[in-house]
Amino acid sequence: MQSPSHQSMLVCGKHRLDLSRPLVMGILNTTPDSFSDGGNSYIDQHLSLDLALRRAEQILAEGATIIDVGGESTRPGAAVVSLQQELDRVVPVVEALVNKLDAVVSVDTSTAIVMKESANKGAALINDVRALEREGALEAAAATNLPVCLMHMQGQPATMQNSPAYNDVVIEVCQYLAERVSACLTHGIARERIILDPGFGFGKTLAHNLALLKRLSEIGDSEFPLLVGMSRKSMLAQLLNRAVDERLPGSLALAMLAAQRGAAIIRVHDVAATVDVLKVLAAVEG
């Protein structure tokens, strides 16, 4: 594994996370139309608070450090979610995970009020695919005093995969993220609270995704911790011709490659298998 040059400790509310080795973030969607969960047993689990708690317990037992709770699907063509819908889907789950499991909860949202309400219930991290570009998001994130993850996305979820184009995807992703870091600093969000995500699959072709992975260490100039999410994504369908539920081997390969290139947090659906891969990698290289 590449030795991290970013800070080795991330303060997430009352929790302190050791980033000297890659951490696993387990996905807990509360949406009925997530690209990988929608249409199977995850729907019923995630729309029931009791069953969401059971799934969260499983995620933690399998070795995840962080649980990422999202109430708005960002897959291409996903239905628009109202503010009240997102609040109803996310905030009670955050409160339950914090109070009953003492979990480190990340909130996958771009909405200022959801950020504030989730922080009030004990959320430890804000994970925003729109890099705090929505109205009021920068101010809300700053007010929570929580770490924020800024992700790159070309376009908007509904149309981002229509015809993504770059002159140099790595340079352009770096430029965008540098601009968002600057905006955060201007609004009082300290450098040590910033995490970057190159946004695999968000307005990128397969070639773009592979270039980003190959040059991952260049993102953020290694100053900021990197979060990556490639689990079960369509890049694996293009590479391997596999359905969503057949993408575990490919997802594990991507997780290992990301860890070798310096990723600090790896966001996945399949927690136990990913944790095993990272343990093996640490044993060999650590």
Residues of the chain above pLDDT 90, percent:
79
Task: Quote the tokens at residue 240.
Answer: 């391997």
Distance CA 72, CA 32 (A): 9
pTM above 0.85, yes or no: yes
Q: How confident is the model at residue 29 (pLDDT cuts 50, 70, 90)?
A: confident
Let me know if 233 is a catalytic residue: yes
Let me know if 121 is a catalytic residue: no
Give the mean pLDDT of the chain.
90
Between β-strands 125-128 and 227-228, what pairing exists: parallel, antiparallel or unpaired? Answer: unpaired
Query: Residue 101: pLDDT above 90?
Result: yes
Nearest partner of 196 among 225, 159, 238, 168, judged by Cα: 225
Q: pLDDT (tens digit, 9 = 90+) per residue, 178-206?
A: 999 999 999 999 999 999 999 999 999 99
Question: Rounded to 5 degrees, what angle do the CA atoms 73, 78, 80 make?
Answer: 85
Task: Quote the tokens at residue 229.
Answer: 């999410």
| Greater model confidence, 246 or 80 | 246
Of the residues 75, 116, 204, 233, only one is catalytic, namely: 233
pLDDT value of residue 76? 64
Q: How many CB atoms lie within 10 A of CB 116?
A: 18
Domain range 9-285, CATH class:
alpha beta
Distance CA 132, CA 181 (A): 10
Q: pLDDT (tens digit, 9 = 90+) per residue, 215-231?
A: 999 997 778 999 999 99
